[in-house]
Amino acid sequence: MARITVEDCILQIPSRFELVVLSAQRARKISLGEPLTVERDNDKFPVIALREVAEQTIDLDELRQSLVRGLQKHVEIDEPEEDDLTLLMASAEWAGVTQEGPVQVPDVAASEVEPDAEAADEPDGAIAPDGG
Domain definitions of the chain by residue range: 6-71
Fold classification of 6-71 (topology level): Eukaryotic RPB6 RNA polymerase subunit (3.90.940)
C-alpha neighbours within 13 Å on the C-beta side of residue 22:
24
- Alpha-carbon distance of 26 to 23, in angstroms, equals 5
pLDDT at residue 8, as a whole number = 87
- Alpha-carbon distance of 85 to 67, in angstroms, equals 34
3-state secondary structure of 32: coil
pLDDT at residue 5, as a whole number = 80
pLDDT in tens, 39-90: 998 999 999 999 999 999 999 999 999 999 888 887 677 666 666 667 777 7
Q: What is the pTM of this model?
A: 0.54
pLDDT in tens, 14-50: 999 999 999 999 999 999 999 999 999 899 999 999 9
- Alpha-carbon distance of 51 to 40, in angstroms, equals 10
pLDDT at residue 1, as a whole number = 47
Higher pLDDT, 69 or 114: 69
Higher pLDDT, 91 or 67: 67
**Amino acid letter for position 67:** L
